Amino acid sequence: MTKPRALAPGDLVGLVAPASPCQDPERLAASVAALEGLGFRVLVGQSCRESRGYLAGSDQARARDIEAFFADPSVSAIVCLKGGYGSPRILDLVDWGIAAAHPKILLGYSDVTALHLALGRVGLVGIHAPMPSSDMLPSLDPFSRASWLRAVTSRLPLGLLEPPPGQAAPVALAGGRASGPLVGGNLSLVAALMGTPWELDTRGAILFLEDVGEQPYRLDRMLSQLRLAGKFRDCAGIVLGGFTRCEPAKDKPSLSLREVFEDILLPAGRPCIMGFAAGHCIPSHSLPLGVEAELDADSGRLAITEAALT
């Protein structure tokens, strides 16, 4: 993996909207202020001010924003304003060779998983982490803030990722230990990109998955797709993050979320934990994708053992 440079206070970060729009100028201004409050200067991409239905402007304009910030030597990192919908539409419009030639932190999660999968295909580390408009307003909780800043500024391995204060350790669905590069992100996006050039490669990896607002039967369908493609058989271990608002509908029969996970994941025989604090949840860890990690499912622990930044 090619590793980007760690950020320092006062660095300039480019703010982009690769998916859905921010239609409220005041919210955009507050998002900029939130990043400035973390110690960085902010250059706002044109996509942050554009709107076309459920998209932040045209596909071409959003792709050009990303390319321009990778190519701009004054920009030290690229922060995604929010997720939503639309990142997969621009995967084949971005020249990822520009990103590979100018490695920088690209930070976001949810729909931004599509961009992280593209980065992984060209050998670049990405940061799965809270985004300004989605998570930093009115303020980012202290645990998530500290994790965010450490993920973008540390030149050392992040080490053991402890549960947030007051939260129990993740639950072991299958015991054992595993090591490998940490990959993955939002389950819906990982499933949607199956069969494309940006399909996730899980061979020998620690696979992290999370999602929001999906009922168990829909998660069942997406997980079954990954199972049938061999993604759980190929991986070394599985980390299930936040699955927020994913409860069954009250008026319909359903399997529980845990039953779905056990039915589909456990036959692969891989160490697996459930309830890791990352993704669509508060507080949330910021995770470097593409670097080595160690999973101890028996104790519900995940450690990042390789530095993500230089």
Residue 98 CB coordination number (10 Å): 15
Q: Are strands 292-296 and 177-186 parallel, antiparallel or unpaired?
A: antiparallel
In whole angstroms, what is the distance from residue 112 CA to residue 207 CA? 17
Annotated active-site residue in 110, 134, 144, 284: 110
**Is there a catalytic annotation at residue 210?**
yes
In whole angstroms, what is the distance from residue 203 CA to residue 240 CA? 17
In angstroms and rounded to an integer, the radius of gyration of the C-alpha atoms of the chain is 18
Exposure letters 233-262 (e unless 16+ CB within 10 A, then b): ebbbbbbbbbbeebeeeeeeeeeebeebbb
Instruction: With beta carbons less than 8 A apart as the criterion, state whether 151 and 288 touch.
Output: yes
Annotated active-site residue in 210, 292, 294, 306: 210
Annotated active-site residue in 214, 280, 284, 286: 280
**Is there a catalytic annotation at residue 102?**
no
Q: In terms of Cα–Cα distance, which of 97, 103, 79 is closest to 17? A: 79
**Is there a catalytic annotation at residue 280?**
yes
Instruction: With beta carbons less than 8 A apart as the criterion, state whether 272 and 264 touch.
Output: no
- H/E stretch holding 295 reads strand 292-296
Helix axis angle, 216-228 to 257-265, nearest 10°: 10
- H/E stretch holding 50 reads none
Active site residues: 110, 210, 280
